[in-house]
Amino acid sequence: MFDLVSNNYMIQMMDKSMTVATRRMTLIAGNIANIDTPNFQAQDLSFEDAFKQQMAAMDRQFSPGTPSMPSAFSSVASQVSPTGIGAAFERNDLNDVNLDQQTMLLSKTQETYQLSSNFAQAELRKVLGAIRDGAK
């Protein structure tokens, strides 16, 4: 039987986007939770780089004649790095978490997640419409 969801490139792409956004929100939440931890260095994930990497893996998966890549986001963890804001924001306890910056990053990442979710829902509505039309 033909699988309308797992073979849908747009749904897969939005799923990857939401997964990367979720990972980034987790990192940001950890940064905020450690705002008073001495010597803590804020971490971030380049959403663009991680998403490009996952899209390249998806292109290889959907291209005929190429071996499929694992769909897990194990490589995303290797892209986590310190934010490097220490020079611009210094505290006596050597913690470089800036609440305003983290809140802004969280807001942008939530917008990305919501946009991806809306695109995925629209695509799923198309699939549902095709199923309903086929049932008639």
pLDDT digits (tens, 9 = 90+) for 115-135: 999 999 999 998 889 888 887
pLDDT interval class at 79 (50, 70, 90): low
Q: Is residue 117 part of a domain?
A: yes
**Confidence check: pLDDT of 28 > 90:** yes
**Residue 120 lies inside a defined structural domain of this protein:** yes
Which range has the worst mean pLDDT, 33-37, 55-59, 62-66, 69-73? 69-73
Place of tokens 């986007």: 17
Tokens linked to 9: 């490139």
**Domain-embedded: residue 1:** no
The number of beta carbons lying within 10 Å of the beta carbon of residue 96 is 21
Q: What are 100-115's pLDDT values in tens digits? A: 999 999 999 999 999 9
The percentage of residues in the chain with a pLDDT greater than 90, rounded to a whole number, is 40
Classify residue 39: in a domain, yes or no. Answer: yes
Distance of alpha carbon 93 from alpha carbon 38, whole angstroms:
5
Q: Alpha-carbon distance 121 to 135, whole Å?
A: 21
**Domain annotation covers residue 4:** no
pLDDT, residue 12, reads 86
> For residue 124, is it within any domain?
yes
Distance CA 34, CA 41 (A): 9
- How many domains does the chain contain in total? 1
Question: How deeply is 102 buried, as exposed, middle or buried, from its count of CB atoms within 10 A (0-12, 13-18, 19+)?
Answer: buried
- Compute the distance between CA of residue 16 and CA of residue 8 in angstroms, rounded to an integer: 13
Residue 3 within a domain: no
Tell whether 50 is covered by a domain.
yes
Q: Which domain holds residue 126?
A: 9-72+79-135
